[in-house]
Amino acid sequence: MYIRSLLSRFRTQGYLDDKAYAVRWARDRLARCPMGQARLEAELLAKGFDRTTVATALRQACGDTNQRALARALLVRRLGRGAGDPRRGASLLRRYGFEEEIIGDMFGVSESP
């Protein structure tokens, strides 16, 4: 009886809802470590979420997020004063899953070195 009430409470609070958990996890992950959608998608898939759940989580977690602001935050956090170095910066942004368009806008590069 106790387990049923506990499970019911968990369902009500959203703890047994994969989509809600994936969205929460994705938002928390972006807050801790700025990254592009490609990398966030890969991490969600690696955690075992199905593609539909991942797509929903990405839409909700990244929908109103400014990818350029995330990229700038990552550059400053990881490279500090070296954030203006186009080669290092572009390489870092690629590793963290940012789109080439964003990298090109920030550094004026569009292809891998």
> Could you report the per-residue pLDDT of 27-58, keeping only the tens digit for each?
999 999 999 999 999 999 999 999 999 999 99
Residues 62-90 as b/e (b if ≥16 CB within 10 A, e otherwise) read beeeebeebbbebbeebeeeebeeeeebb
> Could you report the per-residue pLDDT of 65-91, keeping only the tens digit for each?
888 999 999 998 888 877 778 889 999
> Could you report the per-residue pLDDT of 14-31, keeping only the tens digit for each?
778 899 899 999 999 999
- pLDDT at position 64 over 60: yes
Do 73 and 33 meet the contact criterion of CB atoms below 8 Å apart? Answer: no
pLDDT of residue 109: 56
Instruction: Give the predicted TM-score (pTM) of the model.
Output: 0.76
- Please choose, from the candidates 22, 27, 34, 29, the residue with its C-alpha nearest in 3D space to the C-alpha of residue 95: 34
Q: How far is CA 39 from the centre of its chain?
A: 6
- pLDDT at position 108 over 80: no
Question: Where are the domains positioned within the chain?
Answer: 1-65, 67-113
Residue with the bigger pLDDT between 1 and 5: it is 5
